[in-house]
Structure 1
Amino acid sequence: MTSWSDHAIWWHVYPLGFTGAPLTAAPEGAPVRHRLRRLESWLDYAVNLGCSGLQLGPIFASETHGYDTVDHFRIDPRLGDDDDFDHLVAQARRRGLRVLLDGVFNHVGRGFPAFARALAEGPGSPAARWFRPGDGAGGFAVFEGHDQLVALNHAEPAVLDHVVRVMGHWLDRGASGWRLDAAYTVPRAFWREAVTRVRRRHPDAWFAGEVIHGDYAAYVTEGGLDSVTQYELWKAIWSSLNDGNFFELAWALDRHNGLLEVFAPMTFVGNHDVTRLASRLTDPRHLGHALAVLFTVGGVPSLYYGDEQALPGVKEERAGGDDAIRPAFPDGPDGLASHGMPVYRLHQRLIGLRRRHPWLVRARTKAEHVANRALALRSEGAAGEVVTLLNIGDDAYRFPVDVSRLSVADSCAGAGGPDEDPALVPAHGWRVLVHRP
């Protein structure tokens, strides 16, 4: 059965950074700042890009970066309040955009009220059962060595009840689903019970787990999720382009086909946790190649804000190392530099192609011809086929594949002419072929 998520293309925004909010929360009692409303002036930009949804990073009250939540039921005062959230959802819906929220349910900030009670009342208290024992402060576990992120105890029924209430509360207010942060650290049985309970009232809600490594399919089949983040394909896209090794991408796409037998993964070439694509690629001529793959293979694509402008940004493993990839944006699109518009237009073209072929969400992609620096991909579904040709060599390359029924829909030089040889791709070029009209 087709779901609305089969047509989803997300524009992913990290609101605290995007709106230029301070890096730390204001003192208790400080006035609320209504920065969330700044996103309204960007909604038409997302629609014009071709996106159908707004994927938000953390927006709930936290101590610093949003992933150290202290109140899941309150909008971060640095961003606004309930009225600001309701206004943003209403304006997004008016434009046909759904809203996906970031749920941080593996850990909380040290200022989370139950943790304060656990420290005060001791390890045998009801509050202490909310948290896993460990080597962190107060004898509790923390998330991947981050002392400010206290790990929740997912075997505690009160934690499950809390997560179910939080997800239902914001779905009631108009959200369409959840991206579940650090889903790979939470027991799959917890996710299954949580989303099963939430779906009783919100059967159309969509749940995508952040899974960096591990058994992706199991988080769907055992965890009850709809999707997980496809980090394996993300790495293969930029790595194969940088290394001149398309065998890596072909191998990853074969594994990707196996996942598509079970679910449609959340695909991406950038997000709030990784070096931006424009900085990751060693040759800027290959940015279009990465995008051509993203939009012609199966999955639910997500675009990280600024990548559509080819913004640079390098993630560093240090305090503040995420700042460069989570920058503030101007008040509206008119404040953007003009040199990013060609990449924005390229995104528009490829997203437009994707939306004209919505069956691609569950398409299987076969590598029909593989060489170190040349790759021919054929994506097929019940409604058609799309062929993507990638050449990162220094010479033109004629692909030995059957394109007799196809014509150039888009390429590094735009749509092709009627007399153009669709199988001949220029040096460092790419082409997407579809059936002739």
Structure 2
Amino acid sequence: MNNTPHWIPSAFIYHLYPLGQTAAPQENQFDQSPEERIAQLYPWLDHLQWLGINTLFLGPILQSSSHGYDLADYFQIDRRLGTNQSFKTFANEVHRRGMRLILDAVFNHSGRDFFAFRDLQQNGRQSQYLDWYEAVRFDHPNPMGDPFDYQTWAGHYTLPKFNLANPAVRAYLFQAVRFWFEEWGIDGLRLDTADHVRFDFWQELRRVTSSMRPDFWLMGEVVHGQYQQWADPQHLHSVTNYEAYKGLYSSLNDANYFEIAHSLQRQFAEDGIYRDLMLYNFVDNHDVNRVASQLKNQQHLYPLYALLFSMPGIPSIYYGSEWDISGQRNTYSDQALRPAIDLHHLIRNAPEAKLPASIQKLAQFRADTPALQTGSYRQAQVSAQQFAFWRETDKQKVLVVLNSASDVFTLSGILIPEHLQLQRVFENQSDFRFDHDQLEVNIPPNWVSIFVFE
């Protein structure tokens, strides 16, 4: 864990997408005055603190053409949300409440309204920003009607790819990072499409942010590949754990805990390939279907979140999912994943009314239990609908026992290490007994039993 800032092991991250939550227009009108929607986010802070959140991760907030990832200005808050000053006031309030603030950063590409791309459109081969973008060529037009072509992100011509080998591009982007830090006091960055960016760029960014503050956190969006290519002491601190993401819900849908058990064993066991990394764990986000739309049985939300808060790594919640709201992307849009939510209505009328309190209890138990934050991982038992594992430090050993069946399940035969005393039990459960050095426990349906030994 030597590549992890001191505050990350205890972090509980809430991912909020401001452009969606505030019902901002889908297209930006740059010639219009700022519209103060940031104020709509203040009521959320009370809810986040009640839930146990200590780190707020905001989706894109900088000036963009539409969805936030097609940036037009790296130094201005999106006018659909407000101004730099109104965001500074909000950031100060987040920090006053003792929470950390993470921003979404896009370095792989810009939007077409970015000043350098506008200059390229106007001046063509004579543009001083010709080499700010990759693979610009004038032998054929692009699908957007410009008399030149260029590299894009994933074939999206609204997202021209930066030439990050160009020192001038790097200097501009790093200047922006320093500005965000100095103006808003941010504590870290989520790095969009990190697996499409050259490694030496991340290496230089790490040097820049470490010089600003040694505990500044860098977390990359990585969908495929070996995570330690990005997460190491020279590059990023963490990446998104997409490898575990699918198994978290499909192991429940298929009554097959072996699936997620295999992933966790591969990642975090004694010889696990990521045992020294603190990965960013999630069950949904702004790019994938809501977990409520993925699960066949909504009662499985409870063992799902129990695993999220007890497995190695950093737990995160995507806004609204704590109430079991649904949402599915389609071929043309992710808008259904990024809705405007009536906070107070959902607090009173949640689809799954007991879920927020359950998440709150899990978050508090994790916060009070060091082994659930930094402990090693050791599998104890696994079957189709039951899964048990240990999280262990030198001073504390925690046994987690999950049950995704609709009935109480009696699990026996789990060996308790010698010389350990039971200190705490999650929710003060009492339906268990010790037979010499073995534990027998009745696990509630679709829930979890957690035992803390010291």
Shorter-chain TM band: over 0.9
Are 1:156 and 2:156 an aligned pair? no
Are 1:367 and 2:379 an aligned pair? yes
Mapped to 2, the partners of 1:74 and 1:259 lie a distance apart of 40
Mapped to 1, the partners of 2:106 and 2:192 lie a distance apart of 5
Q: Is the 8 A contact 2:432 2:441 kept in 1?
A: no
Query: What is the aligned partner in structure 1 of residue 255 from structure 2?
Result: 244
Question: 1:124, CA displacement in angstroms?
Answer: 6.3
When structure 1 is superposed on structure 2, of 148-157 and 128-137 the one drifting more is 128-137
Q: Is the 8 A contact 1:407 1:416 kept in 2?
A: no
Mapped to 2, the partners of 1:55 and 1:233 lie a distance apart of 20
Mapped to 1, the partners of 2:319 and 2:428 lie a distance apart of 26
Question: 1:210-247 deviations in whole A, cap 9, x for unaligned?
Answer: 00111111102275111111111111111111112211
Question: 1:132, CA displacement in angstroms?
Answer: 0.8
Given candidates 387, 402, 416, the residue that maps to 2:415 is 402
Q: Is the 8 A contact 1:55 1:99 kept in 2?
A: yes
Give the 5 Å matches for 1:104-119. 104-119=106-121
Given candidates 50, 53, 65, the residue that maps to 2:52 is 50
Query: Aligned AA for 1:207?
Result: L
Q: Is the 8 A contact 1:390 1:430 kept in 2?
A: yes
Are 1:140 and 2:154 an aligned pair? no
Mapped to 1, the partners of 2:247 and 2:103 lie a distance apart of 27
Q: Per the alignment, do residues 359 and 128 of structure 1 end up closer, same or farther by CA in structure 2, a change over 3 Å counting?
A: farther
Question: 1:131, CA displacement in angstroms?
Answer: 0.6
Query: What is the aligned partner in structure 1 of residue 14 from structure 2?
Result: 11
Q: Is the 8 A contact 1:70 1:113 kept in 2?
A: yes
Query: What is the aligned partner in structure 2 of residue 287 from structure 1?
Result: 301
Q: Is the 8 A contact 2:432 2:440 kept in 1?
A: no
Mapped to 2, the partners of 1:430 and 1:383 lie a distance apart of 26
Query: What is the aligned partner in structure 2 of residue 261 from structure 1?
Result: 275
Question: 1:397, CA displacement in angstroms?
Answer: 2.8
Are 1:349 and 2:361 an aligned pair? yes
Query: What is the aligned partner in structure 2 of residue 226 from structure 1?
Result: 237
Are 1:376 and 2:384 an aligned pair? no
Mapped to 2, the partners of 1:359 and 1:431 lie a distance apart of 17
Question: 1:147, CA displacement in angstroms?
Answer: 1.6
Q: Per the alignment, do residues 394 and 355 of structure 1 end up closer, same or farther by CA in structure 2, a change over 3 Å counting?
A: closer
- Identity in percent: 33
Q: Is the 8 A contact 1:360 1:381 kept in 2?
A: no
Mapped to 1, the partners of 2:199 and 2:304 lie a distance apart of 32
For these two proteins, the number of residue pairs brought into alignment is: 430
Q: Is the 8 A contact 2:60 2:103 kept in 1?
A: yes
Query: What is the aligned partner in structure 2 of residue 271 from structure 1?
Result: 285
Give the 5 Å matches for 1:309-324. 309-318=323-332, 320=333, 322-324=334-336
SS at match of 1:166: helix
Q: Is the 8 A contact 1:403 1:423 kept in 2?
A: no
Question: 1:127-170 deviations in whole A, cap 9, x for unaligned?
Answer: 12111116855210111121211111111111111221111111
Query: What is the aligned partner in structure 1 of residue 73 from structure 2?
Result: 71
Q: Is the 8 A contact 2:406 2:446 kept in 1?
A: no
Query: Aligned AA for 1:24?
Result: E
Mapped to 2, the partners of 1:315 and 1:151 lie a distance apart of 25
Question: 1:426, CA displacement in angstroms?
Answer: 5.0
Q: Per the alignment, do residues 84 and 357 of structure 1 end up closer, same or farther by CA in structure 2, a change over 3 Å counting?
A: same
Question: 1:33, CA displacement in angstroms?
Answer: 0.8
Question: 1:123, CA displacement in angstroms?
Answer: 4.3
SS at match of 1:139: coil
When structure 1 is superposed on structure 2, of 249-258 and 179-188 the one drifting more is 249-258
Mapped to 1, the partners of 2:42 and 2:304 lie a distance apart of 29
SS at match of 2:331: coil
When structure 1 is superposed on structure 2, of 168-177 and 250-259 the one drifting more is 250-259
Q: Per the alignment, do residues 88 and 423 of structure 1 end up closer, same or farther by CA in structure 2, a change over 3 Å counting?
A: farther
Query: What is the aligned partner in structure 1 of residue 451 from structure 2?
Result: 434
Mapped to 1, the partners of 2:265 and 2:180 lie a distance apart of 37
Query: What is the aligned partner in structure 1 of residue 105 from structure 2?
Result: 103
Question: 1:356, CA displacement in angstroms?
Answer: 0.5
When structure 1 is superposed on structure 2, of 204-213 and 122-131 the one drifting more is 122-131
Are 1:172 and 2:182 an aligned pair? yes
Question: 1:10, CA displacement in angstroms?
Answer: 1.0
Q: Is the 8 A contact 1:260 1:364 kept in 2?
A: no
Query: Aligned AA for 2:296?
Result: T
Mapped to 2, the partners of 1:47 and 1:145 lie a distance apart of 40
Question: 1:180-232 deviations in whole A, cap 9, x for unaligned?
Answer: 00001001111001221232122221110000111111102275111111111
Query: What is the aligned partner in structure 2 of residue 304 from structure 1?
Result: 318
- Where structure 2 has 5 or more consecutive residues not aligned to the other structure, the ranges are none
Question: 1:333-378 deviations in whole A, cap 9, x for unaligned?
Answer: 3664423441110110000011001342332222211222221121
SS at match of 1:4: coil
Output the aligned Cα RMSD: 2.3
Are 1:23 and 2:40 an aligned pair? no
Mapped to 1, the partners of 2:12 and 2:164 lie a distance apart of 31
Q: Is the 8 A contact 2:135 2:150 kept in 1?
A: yes
Mapped to 2, the partners of 1:292 and 1:407 lie a distance apart of 20
- Where structure 1 has 5 or more consecutive residues not aligned to the other structure, the ranges are none
